[in-house]
Amino acid sequence: MIRSKRAKIGDWFFVIICILVSICCLVPMLNLLARSLSGTDFLIKREVYLIPKGINFDAYMTVLGDPKYIRSFIWTVILTLVCTVVSLTMTTLCAYPLIFPNLKGRSFINIFITITMFFNAGTIPNYLLMKSLHLLDTPWVLIIPGCMSVYNMIIMRSFFYGIPDSLRESAEIDGASYFKILTSIYVPLSKPVFATLALFYAVGRWNGYSDALMYVTNKDLYPLQLLLYNILNNINSVEVATQEGFSTPGLSESLKAAIVMFSTVPILLIYPWLQKYFIHGVTMGAVKE
């Protein structure tokens, strides 16, 4: 079947849009990489755009040689892994019971949970709550408050709805318990949505710093993004730059770019491994036949 000329023009239009969007996403990263690898003289003269000039690795050696960066990086990796596992577990335990039509109070529970998506107590009440629970300046304050997203729970619940009821009913006839049904049927068939939500939770925790900014004063518990936030806020000061041993503004600019690359690249490397699950995990289960 010969496609119409209008359809072909539409295809080329979308291709051009995708190329432009890709360029808009790629150019800032290339500029950041070029600045992190360029010499100080070229950075001071603002001659660096997309290609490094006077290539050197001083900024990366500074980052990798400083214990506070390495400690914060390792702590953020551990925190991200723990939060992802805990969040997926809590999301599964919340979504799974809600697919059973005979669950008493299911409508009320759904409404009660959904309300939390639209209403929040606010920063001060949340801080007072964390203080009353003695969670301030502990690792738990970075794990427990965000251990489940209602939005992600709805995605998982919709995915579970898409799994045929006949599989669950046959397992019930064979005498399988609810937990056995979850671990033997729903979890193995839900790898796409687990991979997708793991990506959501991991990226959210890796990039998160506002909770640590409000609830944590112990520098040993600073996640990498909060450390980056503090450095980028202070590094423009001549006094701070001198204390850290940065003799020129160019090295400061190079160091800022290197720190951003150091904190961004690890999470970007996760996307290729989960890409094949991403779209499938979000869309499957959105429509129940």
65-122 pLDDT, tens digit per residue, is 778 888 888 899 999 999 999 999 999 999 999 988 888 888 888 888 888 888 877 7
- Establish if 52 belongs to a structural domain: no
- Establish if 248 belongs to a structural domain: yes
- Establish if 31 belongs to a structural domain: yes
The CA distances from residue 284 to 99, 159, 184, 257, 280, in Å, are 16, 6, 20, 39, 6
Q: Mind listing the pLDDT tens digit for each residue in 44-71?
A: 777 777 887 777 777 787 777 778 888 8
Contact 263, 171 (CB under 8 A): no
Task: Round the average pLDDT of the chain to a whole number and report it.
Answer: 80
- Establish if 72 belongs to a structural domain: yes
Residue 28 lies in domain: 5-44
Please tell me whether residues 78 and 173 are part of one structural domain: yes
Please tell me whether residues 133 and 226 are part of one structural domain: yes
How many domains would you assign to the chain? 2
Please tell me whether residues 185 and 128 are part of one structural domain: yes
Please tell me whether residues 166 and 38 are part of one structural domain: no
Residue 138 DSSP one-character state: S
Q: Which long-range contacts (CB under 8 A, 24 or more apart) does 100-105 make?
A: none
- Establish if 27 belongs to a structural domain: yes
Length, in residues, of the chain: 289
Q: Mind listing the pLDDT tens digit for each residue in 218-267?
A: 888 888 888 888 777 766 554 444 444 444 455 567 777 887 887 787 77
Coil, strand, or helix at residue 116? coil
- Establish if 97 belongs to a structural domain: yes
Residue 183 DSSP one-character state: I
Please tell me whether residues 69 and 151 are part of one structural domain: yes
Per-residue confidence (pLDDT) for residue 13, from 0 to 100:
84
Predicted TM-score (pTM) of this structure: 0.78
Please tell me whether residues 35 and 132 are part of one structural domain: no
Closest CA to 249 of 266, 258, 237: 237
* Alpha helices in the chain, H assignment, sequence order: 5-37, 40-44, 58-65, 67-95, 106-115, 123-132, 150-161, 165-173, 178-181, 187-189, 191-207, 210-215, 224-234, 238-243, 249-268, 271-283
